[in-house]
Structure 1
């Protein structure tokens, strides 16, 4: 089974409400979609959104990396020698993790179709259903409380609350209001997106502990590079700490794990460069007794389908942040995962990702590299 063609497409779909974090505000989901064609009549799909403030990539850089560098080096290779193919993907250029992730998804889609298995079964098959949390964007206190109450009423039982944009006291007021609106039974996770300094984080988390706000975990409270600060926070609070932007690669993960700087790791395919290295990070974390969440950027159901298949396949992935497609004004994908409120069902009747097509009205332009 050889790679014949790799096509790229630009897509864009509006969000029904803006997505706000300490790092950015998003009103439209843009992405580069990859369509890979093999000579067995198999087609694989992948997606890469631009996330400038996290991965450093833009639509132009993702598209150029795939069309000018990755695709020409992969065309003609057999997927039956997949270790060689993934070696090429990850060594042909430095960084560009989102571009690599989109191609990685398409490769795994093709491989699992060739094997005649859904991707989550091909990767390990630990479970076939997931439950996602829902994100409360950082806004004024009253608006965040109203959003939290609405999401709980809609059946979500875990909320991921964005903080870190303003002063600490305002963040504490936000969390108090969200807890009151969501009720005592709701699981509340905080994500500061690197917005606090270590001492600020310790103060804020301790204050929330004193107020008995029952926070499940706090994600990336300090700057990504500040592992010493991350460990300082972890060692001085009772609430578990999760590393996100601090971990792109398995080498980053090893530093966090060996230094005991975090209680959990958030794996995102756009950071790891796709499933191939995400599997290694997950296995490494498990060897240290550290559980993982799998999260996402603002992606369509295409990218989240791939992330869901990976997450479902692994025992050590215990939390899921896959609400991005629910924020979009429309579903642009034919096939893939199926949402039923907070529950995500993975398709078992089709092999690979189970995606058949992208709705044409959202495709802005196309390009391709082939051996024809």
Structure 2
């Protein structure tokens, strides 16, 4: 505020009048000043195998957004995202993800949040992500098996989605989950299952099924390499569950498209149902993506046929769409064809939390009978924090295995490692933004490239 003096002549007298004027208010904005990209490759302590392949390292790109308040130079932010390209999951090569990230970085530098209008800034971030998505669809890819449009560079987009939401959360002093109002009543979540490799022996699975923590309602097993061996592995697991102190534990298999066709899938599932019922197993049996992701109708055919089986009353089988799910349009197709009882939403395939939320909201509103599972891939606690935020934000959540401590590494790159509160329980995040920063000192030996 300042005072402006005006002089007037009134009846021959000089009168000094002070007029109070309010100076124009310059509203604060938060500007993106710089974005660092750090490619990394961190070795796994134990190799992870599925029917599609194996992993011995966790690789990707850390995205670090540096931003500042335009009115208060002491108010600075560093936001974090994690790009996890996987040729067998997101159909992204490391080189394509890097090129895409460099291009996306250029678009965002210099952009500003309004800082004072959360709804407006969330809309702004969605607009920015749409711009990045458009860039991704136009990007020339070098990978020999690129995904069809609009599925290009989804993991790359998701890394920037994470970092932008982390920034908004820090600016408004809210965890990412609280930036959305859909899941505010959810105070705790549990990890739904422990996952075992496609090569885990029947003996190992039988022991695990009996001794897993009681908080795990299910045991999740990768299958698809050899059906005869898989049948023995599953039968041994079922026998162990029936004889254990937790006979209501659920068997959950991830076929990873290995059975390909509907006919083969129905044949294998019938043999599994007969074998498991024969040893006394009467709990639900969850089956993840038995058919090719490119044939949603085949998945629907399996789902519809199984619902008519008389064994459903004894051991109900639920079919889950996994690899077939990329976008909201895929979710709508599942609904239109009634193709699955469950869907697996992966942040890296959806293109980030914002897109995953749209998918979850659609199912909640239009297909409430379809259960929602939040899955993941090989990642560190940094990627897992994004999954935790999504789990607490969604209007509905039935299963999750991706929001959990990741300890298959020589160390932890997160400044705030994920920890169970008790058993396998996690409580609603309270740290602003993503929930963690990047431990630069720890990850430095694993950084392979920077920009």
TM-score relative to the length of structure 2:
0.76
Q: Is the partner of 2:392 in helix, strand or coil?
A: helix
**Residue pairs, 1:250-289, within 5 angstroms:** 250-286=328-364, 287-289=366-368
Partners of 1:272 and 1:110 in 2: CA distance = 20
- Range moving further from structure 2, 242-251 or 338-347: 338-347
| Residue 31 of structure 1: aligned partner | 60
| Residue 227 of structure 1: aligned partner | 296
Partners of 2:43 and 2:450 in 1: CA distance = 23
Partners of 1:331 and 1:365 in 2: CA distance = 17
| Residue 147 of structure 2: aligned partner | none
Partners of 1:13 and 1:346 in 2: CA distance = 28
- Range moving further from structure 2, 315-324 or 238-247: 315-324
| Residue 171 of structure 1: aligned partner | 230
Q: Does 1:13 align with 2:29?
A: no
Cα gap change, 1:157/1:78 in structure 2, threshold over 3 Å: closer, same or farther?
Answer: same
Consecutive unaligned residues in structure 2, runs of 5 or more:
1-29, 70-75, 114-120, 138-151, 307-311
| Residue 418 of structure 2: aligned partner | 337
Q: Is the partner of 2:33 in helix, strand or coil?
A: strand
Q: Does 1:207 align with 2:271?
A: yes
Partners of 1:208 and 1:281 in 2: CA distance = 32
Partners of 2:405 and 2:92 in 1: CA distance = 19
Partners of 1:157 and 1:327 in 2: CA distance = 22
Partners of 1:173 and 1:215 in 2: CA distance = 18
CA-CA distance at 1:221 after TM superposition: 0.7
| Residue 321 of structure 2: aligned partner | 243
Partners of 1:21 and 1:172 in 2: CA distance = 16
Q: Is the partner of 1:64 in helix, strand or coil?
A: helix
| Residue 71 of structure 1: aligned partner | 105
Partners of 2:238 and 2:440 in 1: CA distance = 39
CA-CA distance at 1:15 after TM superposition: 2.2
- Deviations along 1:242-299, one digit per CA (max 9) or x if unpaired, are 1011010111111111111111111001100101111111111122112211111101
- Range moving further from structure 2, 268-277 or 27-36: 27-36
1:336·1:353 contact (CA, 8 Å) conserved in 2?
no
| Residue 91 of structure 1: aligned partner | 134
Cα gap change, 1:13/1:181 in structure 2, threshold over 3 Å: closer, same or farther?
Answer: farther
| Residue 438 of structure 2: aligned partner | 357
- Range moving further from structure 2, 13-22 or 304-313: 13-22
Partners of 1:11 and 1:344 in 2: CA distance = 28
2:84·2:159 contact (CA, 8 Å) conserved in 1?
no
Bigger CA radius of gyration: 2
1:70·1:92 contact (CA, 8 Å) conserved in 2?
yes
| Residue 371 of structure 2: aligned partner | 291
Aligned CA-pair RMSD: 2.1
Q: Is the partner of 2:398 in helix, strand or coil?
A: strand
TM-score relative to the length of structure 1:
0.91
CA-CA distance at 1:351 after TM superposition: 0.7
- Deviations along 1:40-77, one digit per CA (max 9) or x if unpaired, are 3122111122311121112222122101x111111112
- Range moving further from structure 2, 38-47 or 265-274: 38-47
- Range moving further from structure 2, 287-296 or 357-366: 357-366
4+ long deviations beyond 4 Å: none
| Residue 3 of structure 1: aligned partner | 32
- Deviations along 1:146-171, one digit per CA (max 9) or x if unpaired, are 5624861586442211111223x322
Q: Is the partner of 1:145 in helix, strand or coil?
A: helix
Out of 124, 128, 133, the position equivalent to 2:187 is 128
Q: Is the partner of 2:100 in helix, strand or coil?
A: helix
Out of 189, 197, 204, the position equivalent to 2:252 is 189
Q: Is the partner of 2:437 in helix, strand or coil?
A: strand
Partners of 2:188 and 2:88 in 1: CA distance = 31
